[in-house]
Structure 1
Amino acid sequence: MKLDLNSIKQAQENIREVVRKTPLFYSNTFSKESGYNIYLKCENKQKTGAFKLRGAYNKISNLSQEEKVRGVIASSAGNHAQGVAYAATALGIKSTIVMPETAPQAKVQATKSYGAKIIQYGEVYDECYSKALEIQRELGATFIHPFNDEDIIAGQGTIGLEILEDLSETDAIIVPIGGGGLISGVALAAKSIKPSIKIIGVQSSIIASSKVSLQEGKIVTLPGVKSLADGISVKTPGDITFDYMKNYVDDIVTVSEDEIAYGIFCLLERSKLVVEGAGAVAISAILSDKISIKGKNIACLISGGNIDIAVVSKIIDRQLIILKRRIRFIVEIQDRVGQLGRLVNSVVSMGANVVKIRQDTNWNDKGLDYANVLFEIEVETREHAENVIDTLRKKGYNLEIVG
């Protein structure tokens, strides 16, 4: 290992004119729920929507003039692609990014808008990584690795400097972890300034390669699985990052896919932050009671906000149903004029919002004089939902909750 605090301070100088110093703000809501003082470090507010620009800019700025002339190349389906493209263009360097054919077009277009040449190849990261190395040999370009590079690590470590600049009393930093570049830099920076600080990584339980590697004391490759936290779905941590993690990371905990989805939902609803899966795992770990430290002040690193809006919509719908704040039920009514109107008025009068309603007039077992009405409603709380259902039943409605 050759990085030290001065390396990260130099990286901070290298990126100062381009990279934003992102906000660290206190969350009253999450603090009350957890019993800690929770602060959110919002890298979703960074240029390109994620922390990756820090490492990419530091790496590319440190290239020799000859390397800059030959350009850079990277393989990525998301945040690293955008970070490299933005950094290269800002420094007047040509960039080529190889992205999977399955990459969301929004991310492809965003990367292209930052000035990169895009080549789409293969269905998964490993295929486009191999293609990028092939093209690198043809072009002589410098390959920019997403995490296993000390210039990248130093750039990401500037986040640790910023957290302690804003809150020197920080007792722990909770960091998303995939290949280990982010947590290696943050841990090195923070522990060099404050050795007592705890650095805890959070990884998806379905692809916890860094956690397993640290447990076994050697680099372990796990089967490739795509988590909702796709930004940290890494099969194998880097050999460079592994050394830093062994020396500076105190613990790694895991969160389930449901816990990640709940973290995304809570950050959106309670803190008004749009956050991707990897960016939500630190809060997911807090909300699922995976973190236990002696101190009080915890900084949760929100690593990025580049999430497909369609995925956000699915998460909202699913969480509302899980939390019983969106419920579906079928009510039997007599098929007469005014009956449906009275039922709707009863539901609305209790403060429920009718999202969907459908009347089936010919499918009631009692015959054509009766109809089944499917309701989908939104309510404020689970207790509110129970009150609506109980009140309708007390009014004599035959009601069945569905799905």
Structure 2
Amino acid sequence: MSTLPVSLADVRDAAARLAGVAHRTPVLRSRQLDELVGAEVHLKCENFQRIGAFKFRGAYNAVSRLSEAQLRKGIAAYSSGNHAQAVALAAREFGSTAVILVPEDTPQSKKDATAGYGAELVTYDRFTGDRVAIGNKLAADRGLALIPPYEHPHVIAGQGTAALELLDEVAELDTVLTPIGGGGLIAGSATAAKGISPGIRVVGVEPEAGDDTRRSLLAGERVRIPVPRTIADGQAAEIPGELTFSINRHLVDEVVLVSDDEIRAAMRFAFERLKIVLEPSGATPIAALLTGKLAGARRVGAILSGGNIAPERFATLL
């Protein structure tokens, strides 16, 4: 295997930068979930992270490395919601400003939260516009430092700190399970997990309508799919990131798929049994566990990526 663009040392360095800034999120257990799954399950609750999702980890790590001159000029990002909030808050923490490109159909609660951190929002149509091209032009035109949601080694390293904490708290996991959108969370998590325990199994979860990473891993190259139409808006990626895929093709062992109905059932289970609120993307690991898609796992660490969902949408989905 050639040297990968992010290492365990990078993840540990990110953890040092995040110490005392990011929350060390709780790991929850449920006897009922263990019984239903037939395994010991440890849930890393990133819905309790700052901005309500794991994305703060990577955004803060990347922003922390910008020069004073870059911070004065400001920061740009593009995002379906959680990375937008993360960059907006990280920029504020460093006394900088943020301009965020978001899809027009981003849930209003996520738009409001991002604006609440002081960011300027610019919208585009996700079904007709290329956010990477639009975001790059926006950053270039305004002289801003661009921090993409996953195609950045410092972002990936920051996301990996969630798995680093999980493995520090729970010894001898045989499986780490995470959602996959653009691939940053699982790339960072796999880097941390395999760096600490080379034999550990790393499994990703995608919505059935958005299985670009699964298809890409099977094909051995990045595969583009139509814009996914799924309730898991945080996982509506058309194609894996080039950087994230270069890591995941080496370190991810399997990708399983869940339907929107299975995601809804997982959200309901988390709410009724665990007393936690998860957005659809954040519930996909529980959906995979409840539907028996992790055969052979005995001691599982699952990263629940976020809980940013408006009460009205939560009620409608359930």
| Structure 1 length-normalised TM | 0.76
CA distance in 1, matches of 2:138, 2:231: 30
Q: Are residues 1:110 and 2:113 paired?
A: yes
Relative contact order (C-alpha < 8 Å, sep 6+): which is higher?
2
Q: Is the 8 A contact 2:176 2:202 kept in 1?
A: yes
Q: Does the residue aligned with 1:214 lie in a helix, a strand or coil?
A: helix
Q: State the 1:232 CA deviation.
A: 1.0
The 3 A distance-change label for structure 1 pair 125 and 268 is farther
Cα distance, 1:309 vs structure 2: 1.7
How many Å separate the matches in 2 of 1:311 and 1:68?
36
Structure number, greater radius of gyration = 1
Name which of structure 1's ranges 162-171 and 119-128 shifts more when overlaid on structure 2: 119-128
Identity of aligned residues (%): 37
Alpha-carbon distance in structure 2 between the residues aligned to 1:136 and 1:209: 27
Tell me the SS of whatever aligns to 2:178. strand
**Could you say which residue in structure 2 is the equivalent of 1:326?**
none
Aligned partner letter, 2:309: I
Residue 266 of structure 1 is matched in structure 2 by 269
Deviation, 1:298, is: 0.7
> Structure 1 residue 11: deviation in Å?
0.3
The alpha-carbon deviation at position 124 of structure 1 amounts to 4.6
Q: 1:310 aligns with which of 295, 299, 312?
A: 312
Secondary structure of 2:20's match?
A: coil
Are the equivalent residues in 1 in contact too, given 2:109–2:309 (CA < 8 A)?
A: no
Report the counterpart of residue 371 of structure 1 in structure 2: none
Task: Specify the SS of the correspondent of 1:147.
Answer: coil
More strand by share: 1
What is the alpha-carbon distance in structure 1 between the residues aligned to residue 129 and residue 211 of structure 2?
18
Q: Deviations over 1:287-307 (max 9, x none)?
A: 1111112x5211111100011
Contact 2:263 2:283 in 1 (8 A): yes
Match of 2:74 among 71, 75, 78: 71
**Cα drift, residue 122 of structure 1:** 3.3
1:208 alignment counterpart = 211
Instruction: Report the TM-score, using the length of structure 2 for normalisation.
Output: 0.95
Q: Paired residue for 2:94?
A: 91
Deviation at 1:128, TM superposition (A): 4.9
User: Which runs of 5 or more structure 2 residues have no equivalent in the other structure?
Assistant: none
- Corresponding pairs, count: 315
Q: Confirm or deny: 8 A CA contact 2:163 2:303 kept in the other structure.
A: no
List, as ranges, runs of 4+ consecutive aligned residues in structure 1 with deviation greater than 3 Å: 121-131
Match of 1:296 among 295, 298, 303: 298
Q: CA deviation at 1:220?
A: 0.5
Q: Using the alignment, how far apart are the partners of 1:119 and 1:205 within structure 2? A: 29
The question of whether the paired residues in 1 share the 8 Å contact of 2:80 and 2:233 is answered with: no
Q: Which runs of 5+ in 1 are unaligned?
A: 317-403
Matched residue of 1:189: which SS?
helix
CA distance in 2, matches of 1:41, 1:265: 18
> Structure 1: how far apart are the matches of 2:240 and 2:59?
18
1:29 aligned to 2:36? no
Counterparts of 1:61 and 1:236, CA distance in 2: 28
Within 2, Cα distance between the matches of 1:135 and 1:206? 30
3-state SS of paired residue (2:278): coil
Please say if 1:192 is aligned against 2:195.
yes
1:129, distance to aligned residue in structure 2 (A): 4.5
**Structure-2 change in CA distance of 1:2 and 1:94 (3 Å):** same
